[in-house]
């Protein structure tokens, strides 16, 4: 289980996360809804060891992550797919994917198998593996970003707004793949503003507002909630 207990984060004097508590159980697909600036990325960057929590604890299978190095956190199985993809556009698709296995460089054997699994999950990336990542469409670039995270062999995957800037049909396919990754055994914490698509594949969800968890519940409960619909679905 990945567990956040009373996690706070400050940027200078600005409190970006205010005693956030949430968890994702083994095998769960948990969605974190929140508008622009709610603190979703801040939460992920804190879990990944990029930012250091000002208070509280983040544990993965009982092990404290606050204070651990980002590379150690990936090695422990907690891998982030960052917002905005953050690819190396001039490098080939394949090189971008291989970079995700950097933390496993002392044990490269299994990475070839993982690469094969990623190319099976995203067949278009096999075709385009020698093309520069920057030449791909937005949806394909998002596949590279998710594939690169998979190369880190996540046991829990932190997905930060994978649908950002993608067309509706591409979003649908993206969420189907995320569901498949989860069904194959990877725990997923998915930050999204696209509430409708995200809640359709979620087991549970939380709503983050101004650094605080203001709601949690089952997808059906949140989809039926008028204030949630108004804020995130526009109906
Ligand atoms: N490095 C930083 N320094 C100062 N303030 C920051 C920094 N990063 C984020 N913030 C602020 O912290 C708050 C939360 O930002 P964050 O990026 O975590 O939100 P988000 O939910 O991921 O938003 P979005 O949907 O736009 O990605 C915002 O008010 C933002 O301006
Ligand atoms: Mg963000």
Among all bound ligands, the one having the nearest atom to the CA of 33 is: 1
In terms of Cα–Cα distance, which of 198, 197, 211, 203 is closest to 41? 211
156 lines ligand 1 (CB under 6 A): no
Q: Please give the pLDDT value at position 228.
A: 83
Rounded average pLDDT over 177-198? 94
Q: Please give the pLDDT value at position 122.
A: 94
Rounded percentage of the chain residues whose pLDDT exceeds 70: 99
Convert 113-142 to b/e letters by CB count within 10 Å (16 or more is b).
Answer: ebbeebbebbeebeebbeebbeebeebbbb
Q: Please give the pLDDT value at position 43.
A: 98
56: confidence class by pLDDT, cuts 50, 70, 90: very high
The CATH number assigned to the domain with range 2-77+154-233 reads 3.40.50.300
Is the predicted pLDDT of residue 235 greater than 60, yes or no? no
The structural domains of the chain, with segments of one domain joined by +, span 2-77+154-233, 89-153
Among all bound ligands, the one having the nearest atom to the CA of 82 is: 2
Atom of ligand 1 nearest to the CA of 42: 18
């Amino acid at each position: 289980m990945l567990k956040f207990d009373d996690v706070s984060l400050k940027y200078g004097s600005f409190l970006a996360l205010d005693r956030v508590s949430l968890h994702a159980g083994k095998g769960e697909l948990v969605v974190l809804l929140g508008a622009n600036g709610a603190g979703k990325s801040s939460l992920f960057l804190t879990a990944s060891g990029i930012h250091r929590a000002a208070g509280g604890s983040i544990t993965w299978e009982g092990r404290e992550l606050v204070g651990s190095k980002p590379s150690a956190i990936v090695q422990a199985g907690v891998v982030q797919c960052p917002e905005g993809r953050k690819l190396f556009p001039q490098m080939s698709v394949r090189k971008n994917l291989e970079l995700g296995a950097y933390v496993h460089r002392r044990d490269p054997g299994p990475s070839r198998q993982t690469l094969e699994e990623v190319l099976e999950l995203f067949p278009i990336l096999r075709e385009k593996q020698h093309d520069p990542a920057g030449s791909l469409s937005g949806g394909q670039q998002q596949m590279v970003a998710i594939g690169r995270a998979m190369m880190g062999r996540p046991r829990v995957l932190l997905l930060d707004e994978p649908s950002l800037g993608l067309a509706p049909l591409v979003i649908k396919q993206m969420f189907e793949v995320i569901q498949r990754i989860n069904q194959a055994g990877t725990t997923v914490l998915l930050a999204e503003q696209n509430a409708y698509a995200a809640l359709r594949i979620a087991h549970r969800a939380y709503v983050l507002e101004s650094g605080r968890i203001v709601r949690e519940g089952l997808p059906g409960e949140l989809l039926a909630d008028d204030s949630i619909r108004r804020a995130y679905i526009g109906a």
